Amino acid sequence: MFDNLSDRLGTVFDRLRGRGALSEQDVRDAMREVRIALLEADVALPVARRFIDAVTEKAIGQDVLRSVTPGQQVVKIVHDELVEMLGGESGAQAEPLNLAARPPVVVMMVGLQGSGKTTTTAKLAKWIREKHGKKALMASLDVARPAAQEQLAVLGTQVDVATLPIVQGQQPVDIARRALESARLQNVDVLLLDTAGRLHVDQALMDEMKAVAGVSTPTEVLLVVDSLTGQDAVNVAQSFSGEVPLTGVVLTRMDGDARGGAALSMRHVTGKPIKFAGTGEKLDALEAFHPGRVADRILGMGDVVSLVEKAAATIKEEEAEQLARRMAKGQFDLNDLRMQLKQMQNMGGLGMLAGMMPGMKKAKAAMAQSGVDDKVLVHMDAIIGSMTPKERARPELMNAKRKKRVAAGAGLEVQDVNKLLKMHQEMARAMKQIRKMGGFKGLAAAFG
């Protein structure tokens, strides 16, 4: 996600930060590069222009340039504007779904064919069942695409959420009515309606959406769009929001989207918040969209909060708390790294975590270059396992002789040991930096 943009901005800001003093011209030059980076990330032109104007004005207008750390301050301004662009802090509410209404709360899913709508419906049903402990029911109103209703039924068994029995030949509005009826009878908390897609936005589709919304009075109307389609996704969102009362957007295939233009333009162009991001084909590959965290990720600050949350979901609460506290204090030794490595495999391997963890991105790129994949996790675990507890706590104790022994113990080469130590060093340094910048705010609180 946002890999290219992140790399480009990283280069620009490294240069800015490296200088003690900044002139107005330095800022303008940097902003020209940022503008190009945004456009290459497929951000809509008016959005990019507004962004640059806002940052330039703030950076030049105040006492930023005369401050002791002008580069750092400019990066902070860019960060805050990025958050704004992605939907603002108000978009960072802990709970993206409004499920407080009287049950059954109706969540209507709309979108074009192939956008990932059916998959996302099942992901959300799982989310609602697991994170909210609520009883959900899914119903497919897609009578246009062959086997669409069966597809949802199959996904339903996978996520352990009931689906409305299929009645052949029934039309969408009637299915919606039957689903509501059934939800009431079975004391369902949340009813998810997976509506029909089309290849293009057309009037018949819009009329159908309106009719379904009319009989089901949804609390949430979520538009599912494919982030890989870039500005088309934004245009689709605009067409839909003119016709049905959208409450938010779900961007799918964020896992494959290195550019991120749709995510960056969506809020400004459509006025609709991005509520979720789909990050893979698996049914747990769904993330709540937090503008602040995404901005952190784009600026290479690493998304430590998401990481720790993910860890908390897969590892023992005790361990998660310990990890969060230690990270919040800027402590990060090889035992911590080892604990994380162990969880990585459970959490979907390196691909999933790269970019989330500070310093991890560079390490991953280096590993990819030397042709290493997820088995590197196993290797790293073996290396740490061959060290003494003292060395794990204080890796700087490792001298050439010990490195050789440890490598032999793990069945690997000395250079593998060096790589691991270097990666750990980079991560530890990045964590300290984040801590200095106040990026851990709320993390300690979240874990008491």
Number of residues interacting with ligand GDP: please give it, by CB under 6 A. Answer: 18
Interaction between residue 229 and ligand GDP (CB under 6 A): no
**Binding characters for ligand GDP, 119-148, by CB under 6 A (x = yes):** x-----------------------------
- Of 121 and 386, the one with the shorter C-beta distance to ligand GDP is 121
- Of 87 and 116, the one with the shorter C-beta distance to ligand GDP is 116
- Of 155 and 299, the one with the shorter C-beta distance to ligand GDP is 155
Q: State how far the alpha carbon of 242 is from the alpha carbons of 88, 212, 236, 270, in Å.
A: 22, 16, 10, 9
- Of 116 and 248, the one with the shorter C-beta distance to ligand GDP is 116
* Of positions 255, 257, 303, 416, contacts ligand GDP by CB under 6 A: 255
CB of 114 vs ligand GDP, minimal distance in Å: 5
Interaction between residue 104 and ligand GDP (CB under 6 A): no
Give the three-class secondary structure for 44: coil
Binding-site annotation, residues for GTP: 111-118, 194-198, 252-255
Tokens 């609180």 -> residue = 445
CB of 280 vs ligand GDP, minimal distance in Å: 5
CB of 281 vs ligand GDP, minimal distance in Å: 4
99: left (phi over 0), alpha (psi -120 to 50) or beta: alpha
Nearest CA to 222 out of 272, 156, 256 is that of 272
107-115, 127-135, 314-322, 394-402 -> range binding ligand GDP (CB under 6 A): 107-115
**Binding characters for ligand GDP, 324-363, by CB under 6 A (x = yes):** ----------------------------------------
Write out the binding residues for ligand GDP, residues 185-204 only, by CB under 6 A: 197
Beta bridge partners of 136: 190
Beta bridge partners of 138: 163, 192
* Of positions 56, 73, 115, 219, contacts ligand GDP by CB under 6 A: 115
Nearest CA to 226 out of 257, 200, 198 is that of 257
Sign of CA dihedral 150, 156, 157, 163: negative
- 205 by Cβ neighbours in 10 Å (0-12 / 13-18 / 19+) ranks as buried
Nearest CA to 286 out of 374, 183, 149, 155 is that of 155
Q: Please, what's the largest Cα pairwise distance for the chain?
A: 75
Interaction between residue 278 and ligand GDP (CB under 6 A): yes
100-108, 280-288, 357-365, 414-422 -> range binding ligand GDP (CB under 6 A): 280-288
Q: Are 249 and 272 in contact (CB under 8 A)?
A: yes
- 168 by Cβ neighbours in 10 Å (0-12 / 13-18 / 19+) ranks as exposed
72-80, 173-181, 247-255, 414-422 -> range binding ligand GDP (CB under 6 A): 247-255
CB of 250 vs ligand GDP, minimal distance in Å: 9
Chain centroid, CA 146 distance in Å = 32
82-90, 113-121, 339-347, 411-419 -> range binding ligand GDP (CB under 6 A): 113-121
Q: State how far the alpha carbon of 354 is from the alpha carbons of 193, 278, 389, in Å.
A: 34, 16, 27
**191 is written with which tokens?**
């009813």
- Residue whose Cβ sits closest to ligand GDP: 278
CB of 10 vs ligand GDP, minimal distance in Å: 25
- Of 39 and 144, the one with the shorter C-beta distance to ligand GDP is 144
Q: What angle do CA 13, 15, 20 make, to 5 degrees?
A: 105
Q: What is the DSSP string of 302-337?
A: --HHHHHHHHHHHS-HHHHHHHHHHHHTT---HHHH
**Binding characters for ligand GDP, 281-300, by CB under 6 A (x = yes):** x---x---------------
CB of 158 vs ligand GDP, minimal distance in Å: 12
List all residues 6 or more positions away from 163 whose beta carbon is below 8 Å from its beta carbon. 137, 138, 139, 140, 152, 153, 156
257-265, 276-284, 353-361, 420-428 -> range binding ligand GDP (CB under 6 A): 276-284
14-22, 83-91, 277-285, 385-393 -> range binding ligand GDP (CB under 6 A): 277-285
CB of 196 vs ligand GDP, minimal distance in Å: 9
- Of 53 and 130, the one with the shorter C-beta distance to ligand GDP is 130
CA end-to-end span of the chain, whole Å?
Answer: 31
Interaction between residue 253 and ligand GDP (CB under 6 A): yes
Write out the binding residues for ligand GDP, residues 393-432 only, by CB under 6 A: none
Which residue ranges make up the site for ligand GDP (CB under 6 A)?
111, 113-119, 197, 252-253, 255-256, 278-281, 285
